[in-house]
Structures are given as C-alpha cells and as structure tokens.
Structure 1
Amino acid sequence: MGEIRRHGKEAAKKRDCNRWKPRGCAESREKSNLRSTRYIWKTIILGQVLSMFICGTAVTSQYLAEKYQVNTPMLQSFINYSLLLLVYTTMLAFRTGSGSLWQILKQKWWKYIFLGLADVEANYVMVKAYQYTTLTSVQLLDCFGIPVLMALSWFILRARYRLIHFLAVAICLLGVGTMVGADILSGREDGEGSDVVIGDVLVLLGASLYAISNVCEEYIVKNLSRVEFLGMVGLFGTIISGLQLAIVEHRELMRIQWNWKVALLFTAFALCMFGLYSFMPVVIKVTSATSVNLGILTSDLYSLFFGLFLFLYKFSALYIVSFVVIIVGFIMYCSTPTRTAEPTALPQPSSTGLDNAALKLEESDSETPAVTVQFTRGETVVVSTD
C-alpha cells in the first residue's frame, strides 16, 4: 500500500511539473520580452528628449553668432551653472546630516573641483574648436569620446561589454559618418579653418573631458544622489566659469548690442541647457552614460532640420539614412544589458523628486525572474516573485 502511495505521489509530481513549468516559463518569457521592448522604447524616447535639448542650445548659439555676432560660450555656460547653483546647491544647503552641503564640501570638495573643471572646460574647448577647424572634423572627432567613455566605464564603473555592444557602437559611428558625408554633399563644409591641427586637438580634448564628466556623473547619480551632482557642479561650475569669463570674454561682453531678441535667445539657451543638465542624470540613472552618448548622436540631425528653415541649409536624403542607422545601432546597444564585474553601490540617502522617478523607471524595467517549480514532500509548490 505504501509503495502504491509513493508511486502515486511521483506521478502527481510529473503531472504538476508538466502542467506548471511550461506555462510558467512561457509567461515569464512573454513578460521579459514585453519589459525589454518597453525598456528599449523608453530609452530611445529619453535619449531623443536629450537630443532636443542639445539641439536647442546649438540653434540658439548659432543664431546668436550669425545674426547678432555674439560669440560668448563662457557667458552662456556661466548662466547655466548659475541656474544650477540657484536651484540645486540651494537644495543641498537646506539638507541636514551626511548629505548636507557642509558635509559634502568637507569630505569631497577637491573631487568636485576636479569634476567642475572638467565639465566647464569641456564645454569651452568644444565651442572654441569651431574657430580653428571644420564642422566635419568636429562631428567626426567628437565621437572619440565614446570609446574613451567605454574605457573609463570599464575601469571605474566595472562595466563589462559584449560583442554586440561594440558592433552597436560601430554602427552608430557609421551613421555619424553618413551624416558627415551628407554635410559635404549639401555644402555645409566650412572650409579648412584657421588652424586645423589646433582645432582637432581641442575637439579630442573636449571629447575626453566630456567622457570624464559623464563617467563621474553616472557614478554619483547611481551611488549617491542626483541633487548632489547637480548642486556641486553648479557651485564649482559657477566659480570656475565666472573667473574664466572675466579673463577671456570681458571684451566680448562689452561688444554685445543688447535688445529683446538677444535677451530672448540667451534665455532660450539657458533654459535648454538647464533642462539638459537636470534631465540627463535621470536618463543616466535608468540607462548608462555610454547609452546616453549614443542616443544624443541624433542631436546634430535635429539641428539640421531647424537649420533648413533658419539658416537655409540644403536637404539630403542621406540625413534620414544616417538617423535610421544611428537609431538601429542604439537599439542594438540597449537590447543587451551590460554586466558589472563587482558591486560598487554605496548606501543611498533618501531623495525626492526626479530621483524617485528615475528609480521607478529603473525598477519597472528590471528583468522578470523566471517561474520556478519546487517539490516538497510530494507536494507541488510554485515559486514566483512576480
């Protein structure tokens, strides 16, 4: 009798396994695929929002330069850092405990001076490069920041890439090459520049500084807080850019013929740059610095589309091709998550606002664990964390 009961229990195990496991696995795969698709679309949309902010800064800067002969990149940066100081550094000033402004300055002031210097000079030398080299060289050499960023992420953030990630980056860079070719065919090439070598070196330097800033940003927003990053960049960025503004651009400031249109363009630039700085940490928290830099490669194309009406650029079908190629490479990169060699997360302080929004975006796209089936004393137990 006991033998019959034992065989009956084993048969029940097999029936329950056949009934539960395929269904659970299928449902898990469907949910995983759905969340993966949602994550890719969300990443694309967030990346294009950043591209639109960058487009806004580029168009307003170019309009100031061409229509009103205003070339003041440091003044424009100073306004942005001042806004960050006013909003985020003030938020830090009202905090208490280990996340307060005083505690951060006391423990990490020299690190944020380095970060602020890298960020300020990246913005400055990249704009300065246009005075020496061509638009084509800037567009091509600016991509140098992506392999630098990946290398820094490998050593600092312990990111581990797969073959598909390198292929995706190569496809994105192919899209940039297509865009440059379209620029040449449509006549947007600016000539040889006054000193191509100096300009090219400035672009490479600016791309490397951007990579350093982005890696630091990813580490801070994922392990500390978004407000701390923006508050410290705002504080030291305002100090550094203010000093540099007084030294290198005081003559340009005296030449500005102020009117309501110039003021409106400065305001539009400041709002776009402030939106870019405020929103980028949210996107980096959900994705990564490398993913963000691949996504914003389309910003030049948005600037072109505005330039068709504002600056009378010539249109080429290659621009559409380059946009599609960049998006395809971007999707390939996002389709496979990178791995981390070892955990580097630190205890996170409580945060509010967009910090929590980014955390919810990140958690909603986490991988759904598969349904597993366990057997205990002849009874079927379905274990799922959904």
Structure 2
Amino acid sequence: MLSLFICGTAVTSQYLAEQYQVNTPMFQSFINYSLLLLVYTTMLAFRTGNDSLLQILKQRWWKYILLGLADVEANYMIVKAYQYTTLTSVQLLDCFGIPVLMALSWFILRARYKLIHFIAVAVCLLGVGTMVGADILAGRQDSEGSDVVIGDVLVLLGASLYAISNVSEEYIVKNLSRVEFLGMVGLFGTIISGLQLAILEHKDIMKIQWNWKIALLFTVFALCMFGLYSFMPVVIKVTSATSVNLGILTADLYSLFFGLFLFYYKFSGLYILSFVVIMVGFILYCSTPTRTAEPTTLPQPSTVSAGLDNAALKIEENDSETPAGTVQFTRGETVVVSTN
C-alpha cells in the first residue's frame, strides 16, 4: 500500500510537469502538510497533560523545527527532480538513502548489522548504477544532459534528508507516539513550506491555468502523500525505517510501467535488470534479522540487567516462582520488585 501511495505521488508530479508545465513542488508539499496540520495537530490540541500540544512545544520545539526543515526540503528536492530527470530515475536513485539510513540507525538507534546486510546494500547500489546506465543508453542525455545531472543530484540530496527524517520518525513513534510525530511535522512543515512557497513559487502558482484535470492531479497527489505519511509510522513501529525503505522499492516496478505507457519512455532491458538487482538486495537484507545494541552504561550491582525490555522479560520469567508483588519503574532503568 505504501508503494502504491509513492507511485501515485510520482506519477502525478511527473504528469503535472510534463503535460501541463506545472512546476510547484513546494505548493504540492504545502497541501500535504496542511492536511497533516488539520488532522493530527488538531488531535494534539485536544490532548491534556504531558502529551498536550503546549507541553510538547515547551519540551521539544527546536527538535521538531529541525525535523520539519529536513522533511520539507527532502520533499522539495525529490519533487523538483521530476522537472529534470525521469520517473524511474527518481524512484531508483532514491535508494541511495538506504546506506545513509543504516549509518544513522547505527549511531542513533543502536542498530547492529551483519556482513550480509552490507552486501545487500551494495547490491542495491549496483542496481542504481544499472539504472543510470539505462538512462545513458536511452539517449536522454543527448537533449538534456545538464538537466539530468541536476535531477540526479537533487534526488541524492533529497534521499539523504529523507533518511534523517525516517530515523527521527522511527525513534519518535517507538518512544513517544505516532500522533505526536505527524502533528509536529504537520505544524512546522506547514510553516516552513508556506514561507518557502511565498518566496520561491508565488509567481509559478499565478501562472497555472487551472482546470479540472490539474485540480484532480493536485488532489490525487495530496491524498497519496497524506496516506503515505499517515500509514508509514504504523509500519515503522512494528519493523524499522531501514526495512520499510527497502520494502517500498517495489514502487519502482509500478512507476516503470506508468512511465512506459503514460510518458512513452524508450524501453530498456536494463530497467528490469536494475529492478531485479535491487530486489535481490532487498531479499538478502531480509534474510537475516538485525539486532539492537544494549545501552553502554552498566547498572549498579544491586539492579536488574539494563534495558526495560529485558527487565520486563525477567519479571515475567519469575512470575511462576515469586508471589504476586508490586513493580515500580524508576529512573536510570532500575526495576524494584517488592513482594508480599
């Protein structure tokens, strides 16, 4: 489902740019952030206590500003790239964010990988190289050489910013809440994209010759992007940001066929080969689970082993041997168990 949402945003962006010469990436993102603001920030506004909108802003406002900035600029660069390069190039070059995401997960989320995971990422990058080779053989560089380079660079930069956003998203949805992430991204994303829209794209918006087809394309883009943002945290919470980004590479196949039939791309067997290579990398990655490193700080001798998850397991194991008691969780990841 996430892959279909991504394919929908890609196709509508490409169609707006090629068929109607509508190049308003920030306006498209602004609509999405406004929907997030309307739904999820409003939900936060009705909360009370420590999870209320006011308390979240007091405690973490500057962090969400940085997160909103990274997310807005990632969307801007990716959508902007559709003006310079093809749909399939954007979709496949976007997997450059995977090694960036792995590096960030290693240091921030303490994810630990095995050799096969690194081999899998290398295979995915090999697929990206195959995609670039297909573009060269297709002859697009003959008429728009410099534009293709600009488009590819924008995709790589956007993918890196997406990696930052996805790692932050995984941390927030697993430690805080999905609604908080979407509400804060909606709030600051709307502010940042609105300011950037007023500065960069106000003239482009005035030039749009509105009709029902253009309005429909904007609507489909906004709904697909809103669906992607709403459901991705659900998947990330039960898996990880890295596995989700590998899984949604299946969107490339959908986008490839849309590009062939809607935009009349010149077909190359390397397109299929690059997709197969990337899928091989995905299967390799999923064949072996990753693990999470334990915190480096060791507890005092009188405390239970570090990590609330491990402590909970230890208590569960002792349930059959220990009378019912009271469990108190205190700071410093210490568990105190008092029995009757």
Determine if the TM-score, normalized by the shorter chain, exceeds 0.5: yes
| 2:203 matched residue in structure 1 | 251
Distance 2:284 2:86 in 1: 31
Distance 2:212 2:193 in 1: 25
Query: What are structure 1's unaligned runs of at least 5 residues?
Result: 1-48, 345-386
Query: Relative to structure 1, is the Cα distance of residues 216 and 289 closer, same or farther in structure 2, using a 3 angstrom cutoff?
Result: same
Is the Cα–Cα contact under 8 Å of residues 158 and 340 in structure 1 kept in the other structure?
yes
| 1:224 matched residue in structure 2 | 176
Q: Deviations over 1:241-262 (max 9, x none)?
A: 0111111000001000111111
Q: Partner of 2:210: helix, strand, or coil?
A: coil
TM-score normalized by structure 2?
0.79
* Offset of residue 304 of structure 1: 1.7
| 1:281 matched residue in structure 2 | 233
Q: Partner of 2:22: helix, strand, or coil?
A: coil
- Correspondent of 1:322 among 256, 274, 277: 274
Is the Cα–Cα contact under 8 Å of residues 133 and 192 in structure 1 kept in the other structure?
no
Is the counterpart of residue 104 in structure 1 residue 56 in structure 2?
A: yes
Q: Which ranges of 4 or more aligned residues in structure 1 deviate by more than 6 Å?
A: 132-137
Query: Relative to structure 1, is the Cα distance of residues 65 and 132 closer, same or farther in structure 2, using a 3 angstrom cutoff?
Result: closer
RMSD over aligned CA atoms reads 2.4
* Offset of residue 340 of structure 1: 0.9
Is the Cα–Cα contact under 8 Å of residues 131 and 193 in structure 1 kept in the other structure?
no
AA matched with 2:62: W
- Identity, % of aligned pairs? 88
Is the counterpart of residue 291 in structure 1 residue 240 in structure 2?
A: no
Q: Partner of 2:146: helix, strand, or coil?
A: coil
Is the counterpart of residue 191 in structure 1 residue 144 in structure 2?
A: yes
* Offset of residue 300 of structure 1: 3.1
Distance 2:148 2:266 in 1: 27
Is the counterpart of residue 309 in structure 1 residue 261 in structure 2?
A: yes
Is the counterpart of residue 60 in structure 1 residue 12 in structure 2?
A: yes
Structure-to-structure mapping, 1:15-26, within 5 angstroms: none
* Offset of residue 137 of structure 1: 7.5
Query: What are structure 2's unaligned runs of at least 5 residues?
Result: 297-340
Q: Partner of 1:180: helix, strand, or coil?
A: helix
Is the Cα–Cα contact under 8 Å of residues 46 and 52 in structure 2 kept in the other structure?
yes
- Correspondent of 2:111 among 159, 162, 187: 159
| 1:214 matched residue in structure 2 | 166
Distance 2:274 2:90 in 1: 17
Q: Partner of 1:60: helix, strand, or coil?
A: helix
* Offset of residue 182 of structure 1: 3.4
Q: Partner of 1:71: helix, strand, or coil?
A: coil
Is the Cα–Cα contact under 8 Å of residues 95 and 101 in structure 1 kept in the other structure?
yes
Distance 1:178 1:124 in 2: 26
Distance 1:83 1:105 in 2: 20
Q: Partner of 1:192: helix, strand, or coil?
A: helix
AA matched with 1:267: T
AA matched with 1:60: T
Distance 1:265 1:132 in 2: 19
* Offset of residue 187 of structure 1: 4.5
AA matched with 1:261: K
* Offset of residue 98 of structure 1: 1.4
Moved more, 149-158 or 318-327: 318-327
Q: Partner of 1:69: helix, strand, or coil?
A: coil
Query: Relative to structure 1, is the Cα distance of residues 144 and 308 closer, same or farther in structure 2, using a 3 angstrom cutoff?
Result: closer
Distance 1:294 1:327 in 2: 9
* Offset of residue 186 of structure 1: 4.0
Distance 1:255 1:199 in 2: 23
| 1:262 matched residue in structure 2 | 214
Distance 1:337 1:281 in 2: 20
AA matched with 1:236: F
Is the Cα–Cα contact under 8 Å of residues 88 and 256 in structure 2 kept in the other structure?
no
Distance 1:233 1:59 in 2: 24
Q: Partner of 1:213: helix, strand, or coil?
A: helix
Distance 1:105 1:177 in 2: 43
TM-score normalized by structure 1?
0.70
Query: Relative to structure 1, is the Cα distance of residues 160 and 298 closer, same or farther in structure 2, using a 3 angstrom cutoff?
Result: same
